[in-house]
Amino acid sequence: MSAGPPRGAAASERRQLCAALASASEEPLIGKAGGTRAWVLLEHPGPWPHDAPRGPLPPHLVDAIERHADAHALRVLLIRRRGRPPLDGRLQSYLAWSGSDPPWMEERTLGDYAEILEADLAALAAGRRPGFGAPVAAPLFLVCTHGKKDPCCAKFGLPVARALAAAYGASVWESTHVGGDRFAGNLVCLPHGLYFGHLSPAGAVAIARGYSRGLVEQPSRYRGRSGQPKAVQAAEWYARAREGVREIEAIRVEEHRPVADGEEVVLRVAGKRRRVRVREVSLPPRPHGCAIAAAWSPPHWELVSYDASHR
C-alpha cells in the first residue's frame, strides 16, 4: 500500500507560482482579456499595496474616483516608470478608450490627483473624447508589475517591463493589476486594449514592434481585445489562427448571439464573412497556485465550428 506523498508536499504545491503552473499545464490564453473599455491611468511611483489604488492615494480621493469608476464602468490603474520619480510633483495621466473603433487616448500632466475629477468621465465611458488632455498618437504599453497583488506579476512582469523600456522608452509604463495573474508576464497595448500573456522579454519587444505597425504578433500569446465579450475574443483568436490574419483592423464583429451548442459570432475577416461557433468548457482540475490553495478547473473557449463559406 502506498504511503502517499511526503508530509508537506501538498502545502509545497500550493506555494507554487500560479503563472508557472498555468504555463506548465499549457492552459490556453484564448478569450482571456479583461472587460475594460474605458481607462484612467494615474502616475504613482509606488510602493503599491495589494488593494491599490486604495492606499497610495488619499482616501477621500479614492472614494470619489471609485464612485465615478463604478458609475461609468472605468478601469483605474496606477502607473510608473521604474527609476523615474514624478518631476517637480507633476503627475502624468491618460484617458483611453478601447471599445468600438476608433480607439483613442488623451494625456495630461496633473498638479494634483484631484484634477482627474474635472474630466468628463461619463463621456469617456461612452467612448467620446472628453477633451481633458492632448491627443496621443503613439501606442502605450502597460506591463503589470503589481507584486503585492500577486508575486507572479513582479517575478515575470519586471523583466518584460525592463526590456520594453529599453526599446520603447517613454511609451512603457509599469501598472497595477490588469487581471489574469496566472498569465504573467502580462502586457496591454493601448489604445486598442490588446492583452498578451506568458511573455518573455524578447517576445514582448516583438509584440510591441508589431503593434506599432498595426499587427498582432505571437498569436499564441494573444489573450484577446479588452472590452469584447469572451466569446467574441475567442472567435477572433480562432479566426487569426485559422487564416493567419495579423492586421489588427482586419477583423470586425458583425453579429454575436447565443446558440444551442454555445455562442455564434459572425466576423468580417479581411473582407470575408466567417461564422464562428465557440463554447465555454472546463479544463481538468489542477492546483491554482500562489495564494489560492484549492484545486480548480480553468475555463476554456473551444472551437465548435468555423464556417468559411458563410454568406
What would the CATH number be for the domain defined by 14-228?
3.40.30.10
- State the DSSP code for 103: P
For 20-90, strand residue ranges (E) read 38-43, 74-80
Handedness of CA 105, 139, 150, 226 (dihedral sign): positive
User: Among candidates 110, 111, 132, 125, which has minimal Cα distance to 67?
Assistant: 125
pLDDT band at 115 (very low <50, low <70, confident <90, very high): very high
User: Where are the domains positioned within the chain?
Assistant: 14-228
pTM for the whole structure: 0.93
> Which whole-number Å values give the CA distances from 46 to 56, 59, 80, 162, 179, in the listed order?
7, 16, 8, 17, 19
Average of pLDDT values for 198-220?
97
Q: What is the pLDDT of residues 157-168, one digit of tens each?
A: 999 999 999 999
User: Among candidates 232, 244, 242, 306, which has minimal Cα distance to 276?
Assistant: 306
Q: Which residue has the cell 508557472?
A: 20
pLDDT at residue 87, as a whole number: 61
pLDDT band at 8 (very low <50, low <70, confident <90, very high): very low
239 three-state secondary structure: helix
Q: At what angle do helices 201-212 and 151-168 cross, to 10 degrees?
A: 50
> H or E segment at 196?
strand 194-196
Average predicted confidence (pLDDT) for the chain: 91
11-25, 158-172, 205-219: which has the minimum mean pLDDT? Answer: 11-25
pLDDT at residue 171, as a whole number: 96
Task: Give residue 276's identity as a one-letter amino acid code.
Answer: V
Q: Which residues have a Cβ under 8 Å from the Cβ of 67 and sit 6 or more positions away?
A: none
Phi first, then psi, for residue 290 (nearest 5°) are 55, -125
Average of pLDDT values for 76-93?
82
Residue percentage of the chain with pLDDT more than 90:
79
The answer, yes or no, to whether residue 29 has pLDDT greater than 60, is yes
The answer, yes or no, to whether residue 233 has pLDDT greater than 80, is yes
